Chain A
Amino acid sequence: SAVISQKPSRDICQRGTSLTIQCQVDSQVTMMFWYRQQPGQSLTLIATANQGSEATYESGFVIDKFPISRPNLTFSTLTVSNMSPEDSSIYLCSVVIRGGETQYFGPGTRLLVL
């Protein structure tokens, strides 16, 4: 398994501002993903964080709104830009460990936009 940490664990932000969420893993991973889980809903994949190159976004998500970085095998950031109350969600990173197949999820970052 992997130990995945996310920072911050929660935040309250004003509309129009941006928040960067960090995901750190204690093992080298092959794949890293970012998901969103809106209140009472299931998880929705935002993008695949690619090391050293631009992230691959799912339909409905764009780089200008959710810029993602992945500078190395164990770290990634997701920025939620120009936030509105509709961005209030839990944001989760997930990883696939090198040599493994199982996808592990971080604890999530709970974001409230006022």
Chain B
Amino acid sequence: LAKTTQPISMDSYEGQEVNITCSHNNIATNDYITWYQQFPSQGPRFIIQGYKTKVTNEVASLFIPADRKSSTLSLPRVSLSDTAVYYCLDHNTDKLIFGTGTRLQVFP
């Protein structure tokens, strides 16, 4: 059973910033928060991981509030190629339980 909740789908336009929020209502103290991206006909690709506050890499930023009950993946200036399904997970082991994911559609 998935531990996280996220919107089923989101739409955006090229050049916009997209923020996808995930609920981690059952997160444990030693859980990390990880986001994956999956394109059609490909395996999921690791985007970013964090424990608290803010993490940024070349692809995205991850915001985690102090209570860690939610996380927000921020994609700056999306392009058509960012159209994909985005999964948030919280886990403290290597066993990943995937939820439904958010299907992001980017329009020109």
Bitwise, B24-61 to A at CB < 8 A (1) or not (0) is 00000000000000000111111001000000000000
Smallest beta-carbon distance B7→chain A, Å: 14
Q: List CB contacts (< 8 Å) of A50-106 with chain B.
A: 92, 94, 96, 101-106
List the B side residues contacting A33 at CB < 8 Å. Answer: 94-96
Contact of B46 among A44, A45, A104, A108 (CB under 8 A): A104
Would B94 and A110 count as touching, CB distance under 8 A? no
B11-19, B62-70, B72-80, B98-106: which lies at the A interface? B98-106
List the A side residues contacting B87 at CB < 8 Å. Answer: 42-43
Known: A42-B87, A42-B99. A103 touches B43 (CB 8 A): no
List the B side residues contacting A96 at CB < 8 Å. Answer: 94
Considering the chains assembled together, what is the distance between the CA atoms of A41 and B44 in angstroms?
Answer: 13
Please classify the interface of chain B as helix (H, G, I), strand (E, B), loop, or mixed, using the class held by over half of its residues. loop
B97 beta carbon closer than 8 Å to chain A? yes
Query: Closest residue to A56 on the B side, CB-wise?
Result: B95
Would A105 and B94 count as touching, CB distance under 8 A? no
Would A108 and B41 count as touching, CB distance under 8 A? yes
Would B43 and A42 count as touching, CB distance under 8 A? no
Would B98 and A103 count as touching, CB distance under 8 A? no
List the B side residues contacting A94 at CB < 8 Å. Answer: 43, 96
- Residue numbers of A with Cβ under 8 A of B are 4, 31, 33, 42-45, 48, 92, 94, 96, 101-108, 110
Additional A-B contacts beyond A103-B46, A105-B45 (16; CB < 8 A): A31-B94, A33-B94, A33-B96, A42-B2, A42-B87, A42-B99, A43-B87, A92-B44, A94-B96, A103-B94, A103-B96, A104-B46, A105-B43, A107-B43, A108-B42, A108-B43
- Residue numbers of B with Cβ under 8 A of A are 2, 41-46, 49, 87, 94-101
